[in-house]
Amino acid sequence: MVTLNLPANQANSDSADEPSEIAFSRPAAACKFALMPTQLLVESADPILLLSDTVRHVCAGTAARTMAQAIIHPIDTVKTRLQVTAPALKLQRWQQRIKDNPLDLYVANRRVVHTRNWLIRGPKDVYRGLTGAVLGTIPTAMVYFTTYEWCKTRLEARGAPSAITHLASASAGAVMSAFIRVPTDTIKHRVQAYMETDVFLGARHIVASEGVRGLYQGLVPTLMRDVPEIAIQFALYEKLRKVVESRRGLAKLHTWEHLVLGGFSGACAATATMPLDFAKTTIQCGSSQPVRQVLKAAVQQHGPAGLFRGMTPRVCQTAIMSAMFFTLFEFWKAQLKPHHHRGTRDRLLEPKIWHKRRTHVWKRQFVQQ
């Protein structure tokens, strides 16, 4: 039996809220449809698609990582350009122009902000390489979270401690995903640094001149950076989240709490791995020296501070990306749950306007005042 709920007043009345029911038979149907003026709800005892926790986490992680990467791409572009040790002529001109044309903010004839004009060539300029970043992030995140969930399930089945489980799973995911991430990162960084004009043309040029091996420049420093960075980030976030939840007696945190914890964890991880990130970017932008020589040369030319070139945008980038990732990750996990499996705490991760009644809103939009 299928029940179709329609508005009781079929004479164009806006005041009635009670639906009327029209029943008709349908073999093997176990669904109930409720049709209201602005929404169609389908409730089924047997959901057509019920994702397992593992699949749900993989899909949520992939979506969250891709969206966060697109948001912080301009900051990544600035960081890359500051770390290049042998810049192309166009990049040298950009570096000089941002110094010669600073941005100043005055309040009551007093300068309170003095910074470089990173947008000297317009917003489009800092989005160079975005296509490569997005196309690379999707498969990278898919491989990472698939490996992470697989290792996590195996280790939990063997009774491994929670900290060891997260650390080992995150490290395994970083290693496996690096083989997809490094080629796209190499292309992206060269486009950002004006060494290539386009992601696809850049890939062809690198393969033609350096072979496939050229795409994997920076693989070693990437692994040296990613494994400890992800381990620190995930371990610190999970620890802080559990501490806050236990002290407040909550099953789930609010959105702003995920933002704060994720941002803080990312900033700590970025600071700890900054020298390795500098070596990675330098090698991927054309340097043929090994990691040790790159770090040694940076110290000789600029002192210990040379290892932390681009630290400000990197810490900002990682903090923002971590905050956005963990928030979006929890959000998408909740959204991918079947509706009847969602708890009341899952709604903390949804905008409040989604829960407001919107009956007849469309009529108020077009009524002539």
CB within 8 Å of 316: residues ≥ 6 apart: 75
Q: Rounded CA gap, 77 and 353, in Å?
A: 35
Segment 225-241, tens digit of pLDDT: 888 887 788 778 878 88
Structural element, H or E, at residue 143: helix 130-157
Residue 105: what pLDDT? Answer: 86
Segment 327-359, tens digit of pLDDT: 788 788 777 776 555 555 545 445 443 444 434
* Token pair recorded at residue 96: 């000089």
Pick from 50, 97, 27, 79: nearest CA to 274 = 79
Segment 248-299, tens digit of pLDDT: 776 677 777 877 888 888 888 888 899 999 999 999 988 888 899 999 999 9
Residue 30: what pLDDT? Answer: 44
Q: Rounded CA gap, 243 and 247, in Å?
A: 6
Render 113-133 in DSSP notation, one character per residue.
Answer: EEE--TTTT-GGGGGTTHHHH
Burial 117-140 (b: 16+ CB within 10 A, else e): ebebeeeeebebbbbbbbbbbbeb
> Is residue 138 scored above 50 in pLDDT?
yes
Beta-sheet strand order (sheet of 19-24): 19-24, 2-7, 31-36, 39-44
Q: Rounded CA gap, 315 and 55, in Å?
A: 31
Segment 112-122, tens digit of pLDDT: 888 888 888 98
Bridge partners of 23, per DSSP, are 3
Lowest mean pLDDT among 24-33, 143-152, 320-329, 330-339: 24-33
> Is residue 19 scored above 80 in pLDDT?
no
Q: Is 244 buried (19+), middle (13-18) or exposed (0-12) by CB count in 10 A?
A: middle
Q: Rounded CA gap, 203 and 188, in Å?
A: 9
| 3-state SS class at 134 | helix
Bridge partners of 34, per DSSP, are 5, 41
Does pTM top 0.95 for this prediction?
no
